[in-house]
Structure 1
Amino acid sequence: MIKSLIRLLLQIFPRPVLIRMSLFINRIVAVFLIGNKVECPVCGGKFRKFLPYGYTKATGRDNALCPKCLSLERHRLMWLYLQAKTDFFTKELKVLHIAPEQCFYKRFRKLSNLDYTTADLESPIADVHFDVQEIPFPEATYDVVICNHVLEHVTYDAKAMHEIYRVLKPSGFAILQVPMDFENPKTMEDPSVTDPKERERLYRQKDHVRLYGLDYADRLKSAGFKVLESKYAKELNAEMAKKYALPMNEIFYFNQK
């Protein structure tokens, strides 16, 4: 029932509306799931289970969405990676966060070490609005760019990658996670596919224009990045991975200029 309701809401309402709605709904739902079986490392919430999540039956999964901060598996993995593998939480950094996730943006904004700017094409929680294919900032402006689950929506992803690379300072890094088919060596895309239902069938969502394969790192390298590929979830012990409900097969890409 809950899974079907969430799927229906994701299908019916546009992203800006969902963002506004969730600010109120999640506070109520979280109360009914309080427990000790799972824990969100982002907000510290402890629950009997996480909520199900997914736009379609094929992409839906149980125990995915934190009812308190709305983190998904990938968000919890990213938070842990940034804590363990980078100086993101301690060093003075100028950060551009494109398509800011609700579970992150308020927490990042409170960090005194960050000069933090959010951006999006239309999100109501963004500081500035622009197309990631044409970023309106000078070269070498930012130490860090975060742009997760965006490139699969972008017509010319290579252009967006080059723009992100351009605005990074030398030795700066970008976190650019995307949905992937880990069984496919090559990204699947066809500009002639415009029917929403066919895009959903091929690319998992009706507003996706491609589904990345294992050649994703090569695409990032073509934009100039030095790419470190890591299955970070598998570096953690099984008990911790289960407790945080992490995506065990996710490849984490650390992209440095």
Structure 2
Amino acid sequence: MIKRIIRILLQIFPRPVLIRMSLLINRVVAIFLVGNKVECPVCGGHFRKFLPYGYTKATGRDNCLCPKCLSLERHRLMWLYFNKETDFFSKNLKVLHIAPEQCFYKRFKALANLDYTTADLESPIADVHFDVQEIPFAEETYDVVICNHVMEHVTDDAKAMNEIYRVLKPNGFAILQVPMDTDNPNTMEDPNVTDPKEREKLYRQKDHVRLYGLDYGDRLSAVGFNVVARKYAQELDTDLAEKYRLPMDEIFYFNQK
């Protein structure tokens, strides 16, 4: 029942509305899931299980959404990567976060070492609003750009990647995770596919314009990034990965200028 309710809410309400709704209900829901079987490394919450999540029956999955901070598997993986593999939480960095995730927003904004700016087309928690294909900032402005699960919505993803590369400082890095079919070597896209139902069938969501394959790293390299691809969850302790409910097959791309 919970899975169906979440799926309906995701289908009906636009993301800005969902963000506002989540602020009101997530802490209430968390009370009913108190336990110690799973843990969220982002907020430190312990629960008997996470909530289900997914836009459709095909993409829906159980035990993945933190009821306290709303992190998903990919968010928890990125948090661990930043902690263990980068100086994101300690070095003075100028950061641009495009389409800021609810679970990161307040935590990143509170970090004294970050000069942190959020951006989006329409999100109510964004500081500035723009199209990622035309970023209104000067070249070499940011040390870090975060832009997760955005490229699959963008008409010209190469242009968006070039814009992100442009505003990065030399040696800066970008985290640009996307939904991916790891069984397909090639990205699937067709500009003639415009029907929402057909897009949902082909690309997993009605507002996606492509489904990336294993050539995603090549697309990132093509704009100039030095790309390091790792199945990072598989490098971590197995019991810990299970407790955090990490995406074991997700390829994590670290993209450096």
TM over 0.5: yes
Report the counterpart of residue 220 of structure 2 in structure 1.
Answer: 220
Residue 160 in structure 1 maps to residue 160 in structure 2: yes
Provide the rounded CA distance (Å) in 2 between the counterparts of 1:237 and 1:146. 26
Q: Distance in 2 between matches of 1:60 and 1:78?
A: 21
What CA distance in whole angstroms lies between the structure 2 residues aligned with 1:249 and 1:166? 30
Q: Secondary structure at the match of 1:52?
A: strand
Q: Which runs of 5+ in 2 are unaligned?
A: none
Give the match for residue 2 of structure 1: 2
Q: Match of 2:159, as an amino acid? A: K
Q: Tell me by how many angstroms 1:238 deviates.
A: 1.1
For residues 98-117 of structure 1, what are the structure 2 equivalents within 5 Å? 98-117=98-117
Work out the CA distance in 2 between the residues paired with 1:19 and 1:204.
Answer: 21
Q: Distance in 1 between matches of 2:232 and 2:156?
A: 29
| 1:87 alignment counterpart | 87
CA–CA distance in structure 2, aligned partners of residues 10 and 50 of structure 1: 17
Deviation at 1:12, TM superposition (A): 0.4
Deviations 1:6-43 (A, max 9, x none): 00000000111001000011011001001000000000
Share of identical aligned residues, percent? 82
Question: What is the aligned partner in structure 2 of residue 47 from structure 1?
Answer: 47
Give the aligned partner of residue 172 of structure 1: 172
Secondary structure (helix, strand or coil) at the match of 1:49 reads: coil
Q: Quick check: 1:132 aligned with 2:132?
A: yes
Q: Distance in 2 between matches of 1:244 and 1:130?
A: 34
The TM-score, its normalising length taken from structure 2, stands at 1.00
Q: CA deviation at 1:255?
A: 0.1
1:140-193 deviation line (CA, Å, top 9, x unaligned): 000000000000000000000000000000000000000000000000000000
SS in 2 for 1:239: helix
Give the length in aligned residue pairs: 257
Residue 202 (str. 1) matches residue 202 (str. 2): yes
C-alpha distance after superposition, 1:187-223 (max 9, x if no partner): 0000000000000000000000000000000000011
Render the CA deviation track for 1:47-104: whole Å, top value 9, x for unaligned: 0000000000010000010000000000000000000000000000000000000000
Following the alignment from structure 1 to structure 2, what is the Cα–Cα distance between the partners of residues 2 and 250? 25
Matched, 1:96 2:96: yes
Output the CA distance in 1 between the equivalents of 2:19 and 2:152. Answer: 20
Give the letter aligned to residue 199 of structure 1: R
Residue 198 of structure 1 aligns with an amino acid whose one-letter code is: E
What's 2:239 paired with?
239
Poorly superposed stretches of 4+, deviation over 4 Å: none
Q: Which amino acid aligns with 1:239?
A: D
Structure 1: gaps of 5 or more residues: none
CA-atom RMSD in angstroms:
0.3
SS of aligned partner of 1:79: helix
Partner secondary structure for residue 57 of structure 2: coil
